[in-house]
Chain A
């Protein structure tokens, strides 16, 4: 199992209704590709985050499939329109079955 996996998210605490905001996310993860070999010539098993999603009040904002060539500590920056006050839910899916989540509230004003 991947160690020291910590999600981090930055969302503005408030926005005007209809405003487009920038969301930044980062998760610490080794993102081992499964292509590399260790000192003894054995394949190091693949261990990556394979999917990332962001939802707002139950509605999907972004759904990303991650592939083995993506580097360590995957970072996503994207924009979203804020229709109303609510909660963003961020979810990362690990190859080992672990699911990491984080949430951020945003207010209108």
Chain B
């Protein structure tokens, strides 16, 4: 990727050039054989961007390299834990995920790429975390897990890995249209004492520095993400809490319908980028 590619952010180019910084050259290739799409034309429903970039391109070469080799990607430890959960009976039913869904590499292939999505039976938009919990409480007779970090994200990571390399393809029309519109409204609404909207940083200023960090486009195709600063996996909802808090606002509840709407809208902004399974970020 070159600086001239950043047509959507002219100011970014100037500042990057001024600081002597360049976004990474080269492609995201996992284990030397699976190339992921980290740059794609923006979907037509996104007005503010011409090109969408995975958060990977904004990170330094050391962080990027960690994601390019599964051995060096600490997120893989959580994928292993998620696989154990997949095969382990839970709740009063004594059933494991595998008892109904079988081999995850077949049954879960492509799942991560289309979430959040409409659930017809429940009449609501569900994130992958919500779907996992619904399955646990309704089918397994197990307790719901807390969103954001921990076991649910390990399981989400294992499911997500089955779609690695597939393009994000979240539906925005039909029954989800209203929720999507709500998410869009939230994305462009300034909030908190700093009066920042999501767009203030991730649409108008991606590639620029915020204090010592380079702002990404805030794409969610890489989630769950292993954050080096936390040394655990975080889901998109968990990250949203941190991001809203950083605007010095009261955050929404992590399991609120507000964050579901936002997660749907933000996911749709990354349609065309590859699901990264588990990514590594700052």
Say if A and B assemble together: yes
Stretch at the interface among A4-12, A36-44, A50-58, A80-88: A4-12
Q: Which residues of A contact B142 (CB under 8 A)?
A: none
- Evaluate contact between A26 and B71: CB separation under 8 angstroms: yes
CA distance A37 to B231 in the complex (A): 19
CA distance A45 to B223 in the complex (A): 33
Q: Does A73 contact B (CB under 8 A)?
A: yes
Contact in complex: B71, A24 (CB < 8 Å): yes
Q: Is the CB of B71 within 8 A of A8?
A: yes
Determine the interface band of chain A, counting residues with CB < 8 A from chain B. 10 to 19
Report the separation of the CA atoms of residues A4 and B77 in the bound assembly, to the nearest whole angstrom: 10
Instruction: Determine chain B's interface SS by DSSP, over half rule.
Output: loop
Q: Which residue of B lies closest to A10 (CB)?
A: B71
> Are B231 and A72 interface neighbours, CB within 8 A?
yes
B195 smallest CB distance to A (angstroms): 35
Q: How far is the CA of A71 from the CA of B231 in the complex (A)?
A: 9
**Smallest CB–CB gap between A91 and chain B, Å?**
19
Asked if A47 is at the interface (CB within 8 A of a chain B CB), the reply is no
User: How far is it, in angstroms, between the C-alpha of A28 and the C-alpha of B78 when the chains are bound?
Assistant: 9
Does A73 lie within 8 Å of B74, measured CB to CB? yes
Interface residues of B, Cβ cutoff 8 Å to A? 71-72, 74, 77, 80-81, 231
* 13 sampled A-B residue pairs with Cβ under 8 A: A4-B81, A8-B71, A10-B71, A24-B71, A24-B72, A26-B71, A26-B74, A26-B77, A28-B77, A28-B80, A72-B231, A73-B74, A73-B77
Q: Closest approach, in angstroms, between the C-beta of B162 and any C-beta of chain A?
A: 20
Please, which residues of chain A bring their CB within 8 A of the CB of B231? 71-73
Contact with B along A4-25 (1 / 0, CB 8 A): 1010101000000000000010
Closest CB in chain B relative to A106 CB, distance in Å? 17
Kindly name the residue among B77, B80, B81, B231 whose own CB sees the greatest number of chain A CB atoms within 10 A: B77
Give chain A nearest CB distance to B169 CB in angstroms. 33
Distance (whole angstroms) from the CB of A108 to the closest CB of chain B: 23
Q: Provide the A49-83 mask, 1 if CB < 8 A to any CB of B, else 0.
A: 00000000000000000000001110000000000
How far, in angstroms, from A28 to B72 measured CA to CA in the complex? 13
Closest 10 CB pairs between A and B? Answer: A28-B77, A10-B71, A72-B231, A24-B71, A73-B74, A4-B81, A73-B77, A6-B80, A71-B231, A8-B71
